Chains A and B, each alone.
Chain A
Amino acid sequence: MRPKENIEKFVRVRKPHVTTSRQMDKRTLDDSFAAMEQTIRTKSAEHKPSVQRISILSRMIKLTAAAAVIIVTTGLIAVFVDRGIGEKPDTNTVSEIVKSPVEMMTAMSLERAFQRGGIEAVEEQSRKAFRPLGLKPKNLSFDQILAEFNGNCHSTGRTRL
């Protein structure tokens, strides 16, 4: 056997055999149990929700549920009103609705004019629009303009201008 193994064996076999005293056992176990109980109590107090917290939580849950129901209902109503229940979804593209960029610009400017000053502002806007063309929109009514936006220009509006 090598010297290193000799010395290792020497140390290993002479491991001290110590026994604890009864006093020490009692003191250590009592203190350990007390520490354990204290830890369990502290943890359970941390995790146990108070009555007030439960009621607040309950109220919050109720309010959240109510808000969720309102939002979903409103959303569904909005969708069905827009499209109509059971109707086929509107698949028209912008280019199909608006025939030309000029029409789109006109529609936008009239829309803004209406928002700004109502029917009077729309009429003023249309007057301004037709003035450079040398046309006299005296006979042009608001209904005719709307009809033109809706794509009926061939049937009514332009013929009268």
Chain B
Amino acid sequence: MVEDKILVWKFNRGSKDALRRIYEKYKDDLLGLAITLLKDRSVAEDIVHDVFVSFAQTTGTYHLSGTLKGYLSTCVANRARDRNRLRSGTNTGLDVVEALGSSSDGPTEHAIGSEESGRLDDLLARLPYEQREVIVLHLHQGMRFREIAKALGISINTVQSRYRYGLDKLRTILNSVVTK
């Protein structure tokens, strides 16, 4: 947190090193979030790229309220939601889920490799987008419900109910998978 404040302070004074450090620190986390939300690595990469370019344009005026990770995660989630709306006409279900990590360059850049992670990803993909978004932001990005509510512009009760319904549905799906 203190490190982030120092980085933001330097970033606001035009330090490229600070921007590079912020990118290095959060790039993987944000890309993972975008991939989980959109199920498309190339689109996820575009989103993370756009978020950082937009963030770079706020140099000198950016005011850190809350956590930097929360802010960047919110930016990614908002852009992912917009992309999701744009392609809402197309099928975004399991049939078109791109194999995660398929476009990574080398062995050190592999995406979700484990079978379990892939399975969770498939399970999350079965949830409605809104529920998936809240679950991922809370459990993966560590954002509190209040933060999520503020970021998404909805009430905290809505966030909590989406989260609860999402977990219920996830449990049901898991149970059905286990039963089979």
Q: Mark B159-170, 1 if CB is under 8 A from A, else 0.
A: 000000001001
Q: How many A-B residue pairs have CB under 8 A?
A: 120
The answer to whether B105 touches A21, judged by C-beta atoms less than 8 angstroms apart, is yes
With A24-B49, A31-B49, A36-B19 as known contacts, state yes or no: A17 contacts B56, CB within 8 Å. no
- Residue from A16, A23, A39 having most chain B Cβ neighbours under 10 A: A16
With A11-B120, A12-B140 as known contacts, state yes or no: A36 contacts B111, CB within 8 Å. no
B116 at the interface (CB under 8 A from A): yes
Bin chain A's interface residue count. Answer: 20 to 34
Of A2-10, A83-91, A113-121, which stretch is located at the interface?
A2-10
The answer to whether B171 touches A7, judged by C-beta atoms less than 8 angstroms apart, is yes
Which partner residue on chain B sits nearest A35 by CB separation?
A: B56
Q: Mark B29-70, 1 if CB is under 8 A from A, else 0.
A: 001100110000000010011001111111110000000000
Give complex CA distance A73, B179 in Å.
Answer: 99
Give complex CA distance A33, B17 in Å.
Answer: 10
**A residues with CB within 8 A of B:** 3-4, 7-8, 10-12, 14-25, 27-29, 31-33, 35-36, 38-40, 43
